[in-house]
Structure 1
């Protein structure tokens, strides 16, 4: 019995540590990119940990299923690439609230989920790939500028990737943090910067933020997190409580938005750690692993202020480069999905290029324009293919036009 319990407990702790350390820098970079101060970004990381931790505990306990929640890493990448919008940080908070409302509506109205799912996967994945590309280039450009600082991070990442790939991103971020801590110690920081706190922001609503943040954030959260998260659980023989899970993530997103949390969703990669045989031989007890992960996120939340202070004191480009390394896997999988279908690949390429350009028009970021451009090209290609298709042969078996084969000849 002790051995049976130890496996899910240890698997849950590993899932929490890997999920947190491998991408918290992406979250901080995204919130700062959307206009948050260091304190507001720390507040956002704290509330994300609390809402996803409590939500995971609730779902795992209620449904006895290893369902796990996570923050939206692709969504944070969208924020980091898009930059501040009209209305600043309050408008971004308003967009986070709207994202939560859209997720709640998806739980209540199945047709809305069908509408979001009707966007072709190559288009949505090409948009995500274009958004994360500039972040994934950061390790290259930062190494060229500061080789003495970045080369140790890359060396550690490569070394761990060769022997323990699951820990490679965490090891790279740990190395970057070690360098940042050394820089912070030299600055004699204020002790108050390490105190966990929630920073509340009254939301504002601008159409630029709703179109440029809420819509792309909702789409990438659904397409790149919620749907794959369901597939992961299904692959291990579990049925995801789809509508309750969406309702919980919507409630967590809405509740956390005023404190800076951008979005929570079903976990995908880390969910595999709690649903696999690594969490125990008995599938009926693997929910304990997910519940343990949720419990672990609550104390991790209180490290948010210290991590934000360390990230702020880091040498220029260091943490962004480490965040870029953490996004390599997302870039690779998104590019593979975007180019998977030869037909209409031009639309995916256009989507990718517009998103990667970082262009802003009418106060709206590149992610939204990339979706529009890709869908427009796909529509044009579809019209072209239909016009080029040969007309159906309506002649009957005797070669007489005007009759279908098998029609009565009177």
Structure 2
């Protein structure tokens, strides 16, 4: 009995660690994304709460049902896309309508194999270049924060760099902690800012919009599939776990659509934190690693209780400093996206065109730059293929 309990300690610790790292490393990006879409602090807190509770509960259910370390997460690159896109005409209800459509597209990818294959057929170089273009603006924030707020931003960046050198897994959580300390020391928060921290959901009636469907929902869907679901499956495959992807996409699509009216964007397979639960560090026996992912699910549900506190604190903090922390969290994703975008010489120029168009912030007909970047690179790549 003692040996069995000891055997449970390792995956439980791994699961808690995965949830804490996943939450602390990217909740600032998620809240910034909702704010950029026009959400109020209460609506942003509601979105974060819905994501934590539902991805935790669904991850717990999938882990118990499949006996595999299936970890779900929010789409951090998708949140970065929201930051770079900005509020649509019509405000947050229009963005929520796009979130709902994104969930339905993920569901369609899970149910209809031809559609899923069509999405998978999008060249990885272009999808990665689009993601890199989305991430560039927010990844510039640490540099801009150091210029504008050196006394506040420099300690955050230095703490992140030192933690990255000695304990890379904790680099972003350390940056978050230092940023919070600097804000409390140097920027007194208005009275009552953190008084109402009871977590609660806020209903936002979705408002459909063709411009948001093309400029927000479609890029969000593509970014989520290319940078979260596909790498998440790759992590599981690398450790010998091969779940059927269709049902996972279907249930996460349904869940994303259901929580959209509460301000949340999308739920998907985790990648980085999934490696903590799927690998041997979680447990030497692969058959026991599902305990780690189940623990992650429970931990996310508990972390959701702090969503209102996090949203209120960030709403009262210097925006540029919060963006700087989010930028530090996404530097690794930017590097990976650029590497994948430039990997094949023949696709390099179309990928560069996709990258610069997306990063430019171009907006035509109410449609954001991510869509036009993919179109521009796709046309150039098609011209090259037709040339033979």
Q: Shorter-chain TM-score: which interval? A: over 0.9
Q: Which structure has the larger Rg?
A: 1
Q: Alpha-carbon deviation of 1:187?
A: 2.1
- Equivalent position of 1:399 in the other structure: none
Normalising by structure 2, report the TM-score: 0.97
Residue by residue, what CA displacement relative to the aligned partner does 1:245-286 show, whole Å, maximum 9, x if unpaired? 112211210111000110000001100000111111111010
Would you say how many aligned residue pairs link Structure 1 and Structure 2? 385
Q: Alpha-carbon deviation of 1:16?
A: 0.4
Alignment CA distance shift 1:331-1:283 (3 Å): same
- Once residues 214 and 74 of structure 1 are traced to their aligned partners in structure 2, the CA distance between those partners, rounded to angstroms, is 13
- Equivalent position of 1:114 in the other structure: 117
* Counterpart selection for 1:226 from 212, 224, 229: 229
- Once residues 139 and 251 of structure 1 are traced to their aligned partners in structure 2, the CA distance between those partners, rounded to angstroms, is 36
Residue by residue, what CA displacement relative to the aligned partner does 1:318-377 show, whole Å, maximum 9, x if unpaired? 111000000001100000000000013110000000011111111111000001001011
* Counterpart selection for 1:360 from 354, 358, 363: 363
* Counterpart selection for 1:216 from 219, 222, 225: 219
Q: Alpha-carbon deviation of 1:4?
A: 0.8
Worse-matched range after superposition: 311-320 or 322-331: 311-320
Matched, 1:340 2:377: no
CA RMSD of aligned residues (A): 1.1
- Tell me if the contact between 1:181 and 1:314 (Cα under 8 Å) persists in the aligned partners: no
Matched, 1:102 2:92: no
* Counterpart selection for 2:149 from 146, 150, 166: 146
- Tell me if the contact between 1:347 and 1:377 (Cα under 8 Å) persists in the aligned partners: yes
Task: Give the 5 Å matches for 1:6-405.
Answer: 6-182=9-185, 185-384=188-387, 386=388
Residue by residue, what CA displacement relative to the aligned partner does 1:141-196 show, whole Å, maximum 9, x if unpaired? 11111100000001100111111001101111121122234467542224543221
- Once residues 98 and 62 of structure 1 are traced to their aligned partners in structure 2, the CA distance between those partners, rounded to angstroms, is 27
- Tell me if the contact between 1:124 and 1:371 (Cα under 8 Å) persists in the aligned partners: yes
- Once residues 106 and 141 of structure 2 are traced to their aligned partners in structure 1, the CA distance between those partners, rounded to angstroms, is 31
Q: Which runs of 5+ in 2 are unaligned?
A: none
3-state DSSP class of the match of 2:345?
A: coil
Normalising by structure 1, report the TM-score: 0.92
- Tell me if the contact between 2:194 and 2:309 (Cα under 8 Å) persists in the aligned partners: no
